[in-house]
Amino acid sequence: MTTTSSTSRGGAMARVIIGRTFLWAWLLIGLVPLLFMLITSIKPAGIANQIPPAWIFQPTLDNYASVLSAGGGKSESFGQLLTNSAIVSLGATALAILVGVPAAYALTMRDFRARKGLSSWILSTYMFPPIVAVIPIFVFAGKLGLMDTYPALIIPYAAFNLPIVVWILRSSILQLPYEIQEAAMVDGASTWEVLRRIIWPLLVPSVATAAVLTIVLSWNEFLFALSLTRSGAKTAPVGLQQFTGMYGTDWGNITAAATLIVAPILVLMVVLRRQMVAGLTFGAVK
Amino acid sequence: MKATAAPLDATLTVDASRRAAGRTTVGARGRKPLTWKKRSTPWVYMAPAMVVLLLMTVAPTIFIFYSAFRNDKILGGVGKFVGLDNFIEAVTNASVQHAFLITFGFVAVAVILEMILGFALALPLAAQTRANKVGAALMLLPFAVTPAVAAMVFKQLLNPNYGWVGYYLGVFGFPKGIDLLGDPTSAWIVLVILDMWQWTPFIALILMAGLQSLPGEPREAAMVDGATPWQMFRHITFPAMVPFIAIAAVLRTIQAFKTFDSFKILTGGGPGESTEIINLGIFRVGLQSFNVGLACALGVVFLIILSLLIPFMLRIIGRRADPEEM
């Protein structure tokens, strides 16, 4: 961008207009792939991939009905894949919160010498590349007979989201006035009672943020789901890739399936926009 | 939620005052010796999380360091110790070197472009107008799309026979039925564009939050003194934004090194091996050819390279995200 050294109102206006034009052009062009997905998914059979693209047609939900119903030469219905995704995401989230809350609490205890080192270690596991973990976990899962089961995805997903969960919760606890905890301890409350009665009720909003983030990131995961599932625990994003082989160019069905995967996540993310950005930056940006 | 990020020196003074205040409260330390029970309590609370992390990060690390020196195959029974053979292969093999090289190239190009565009988008987006509320929500949409789904949608758009992109390019006079994924250069451009489409919003929203949290006084003072817009940006806005830029750059770099879905789905590493980044290479060697030894050696090299980023992450994220001083 060239900047004029004029401080005149005209120059400032021009800059604002250029900036806004760029912003809205980006936003609108960015919507094209999503529009394509949505429009194609409601096109009647036969015109979904017609060239030139059909813009005037009678919208239909047939594609959605078709992908959600079992049979039709498919090994499993897409509804089952979505269910698998939901079970794995919720399971991973429950596990991450269950182990993350006590850990976050421990990392705020004042007479816990190792808390800084441990906090840093947990944060640094965010760096751990999934591709490096996937081969050992593939071997472990095979040896333990967990291949193609829900736990084979739930445990890794919980682990890889723990740095975010623990850091969000830890900084929330640190922001609570310590005097409340102290007063309770003076009255003879145990650490467990302090966590249960005092910290937990105040922590619920942060737990919700951490939980939604973990759900979203687990729902979207692809590499582990691709490597560790075959059929029984297969998640929706992996199933979608095999659709292309199954349906060839039946784009109506493929885009309907894609929309079903994306829709719930879009809603969650847009509603909780600020919390999501804050969470994904470990609370560094609020 | 409001944006709460003060410039660095302000956080320091806050920390200092909090520390001073902390001394006046009755601390547990230094009065009476702690009982063993009290000292072990935090470890009890830490244990479950540590077990999960040990299982999923430390155990795999031990496994790859062990397997990298052996020639195990997933299907082929028990292998044996082969010394440095896998590492020699990993370092000397031309296609491995190529994979590492294009990985770094991709990360550098994607992160730099996304940072610049993210800043350019954050500036108009930071103004608190009603339109921008809608803008911020729209901004997030591509970022919220499941990466594997986004890659597949892009693949359909680029389909040489039925894709919108080929058709509308044809309308504007480009050759008909262009196959952008069939040529290494255009395939790379597509992959970078997909990455920018998905991730620039993340950076723009971080920088937007940063811009909205900057104090207004310095800008007003500079205006009164007749500073030009460029001087204002150069001496006031940009320096105050450095911490946010650092956060966005570090996080995005880490995530970019983990990129897998878009390459796997859009090009599968092709045409030829031209887009086979190291994540795809390890996946192919380990989980498709089942050469665990070589895949683990590659993993060790990759892990060591990525570990160099940890100090940056701890300094930039750890310090800023931490209400206490690290």
CB contact under 8 A, B258 and A133: no
* Contact assignment for B59 to A237 by CB distance below 8 Å: no
Give chain A positions within 8 Å (CB) of B247. Answer: 281, 284-285
> What is residue A29's predicted lDDT score, i.e. its pLDDT?
93
Q: Alpha-carbon distance B11 to A284, whole Å?
A: 12
pLDDT of residue B186: 93
Å between B53 CA and nearest CA of chain A:
6
Q: Does B251 touch chain A (CB under 8 A)?
A: yes
Cα distance between residue A148 and residue A227, in whole Å: 9
pLDDT in tens, A123-175: 999 999 999 999 999 999 999 999 999 999 999 999 999 999 999 999 999 99
Is there a contact between B53 and A162 if contact means CB atoms under 8 Å apart? yes
Rounded distance, CA A272 to CA B137, Å?
10
Q: Which residues are bridge partners to B81 per DSSP? A: B70
Beta strands in chain A (DSSP E): none
Q: Looking at residue B32, what is its pLDDT? A: 52
Element (H, E) at A247: helix A236-247
Q: Note the pLDDT of residue A110.
A: 86
Three-class DSSP category at A143: helix
SS3 B81: strand
Q: Is the pLDDT assigned to residue A98 strictly greater than 80? A: yes
Task: Write the CB contacts of A221 (distance below 8 Å, at least 6 apart in sequence).
Answer: A153, A157, A235, A237
Give me B217's structure tokens.
């006084």
Q: Do B260 and A240 touch (CB under 8 A)?
A: no
Using CA atoms, how far apart are residues A258 and A41, in angstroms rounded to an integer? 9
Buried b (16+ CB within 10 A) or exposed e, A207-220: bebbbbbbbbbbbb
Residue ranges in chain B whose pLDDT is less than 50: 1-31, 326
- pLDDT at position B16, please? 43
DSSP-derived 3-state class of residue A67: helix
User: Does B133 touch chain A if contact means CB atoms closer than 8 Å?
Assistant: no
Q: With an 8 Å Cβ cutoff, are A127 and B306 in contact?
A: yes
CB-CB neighbors (< 8 A) of B177 in chain A:
none
Nearest Cα of chain B lies from the Cα of A201 at a distance, in angstroms, of 18
List, for residues A183-241, the tens digit of each pLDDT value.
Answer: 898 888 888 999 999 999 999 999 999 999 999 999 999 999 999 998 889 999 999 98
Per DSSP, B178 falls in state -
Residue A174: CB atoms within 10 A of its CB come to 15
A137 and B150: CB-CB below 8 Å? no
- In the block, tokens 């145990």 appear at A190
Establish if B39 touches chain A: CB-CB under 8 angstroms: yes
Summarised one tens digit per residue, pLDDT across range A33-88 is: 999 999 999 998 778 777 778 888 888 898 898 888 865 445 568 889 999 999 99
Q: Which residues between 140 and 179 in chain B have a beta carbon less than 8 angstroms from any beta carbon of chain A?
A: 140-150, 152-154, 156-157, 159, 161-162, 164, 167
**Residue A250: how many other CB atoms lie within 10 Å:** 19
Segment A230-284, tens digit of pLDDT: 888 999 999 998 876 666 668 888 899 999 999 999 998 888 888 888 899 998 8
Note the pTM of the prediction, 2 decimals.
0.88
Helix (H) or strand (E) holding A42: none
Q: How many CB atoms lie within 10 A of CB B161?
A: 11
> By three-state DSSP, how is residue B291 classified?
strand
Q: What is the reported pLDDT for A218?
A: 97
Q: Which residues pair with A121 in a beta bridge?
A: none
- The pLDDT-based confidence of A8 (bands split at 50, 70, 90) is low
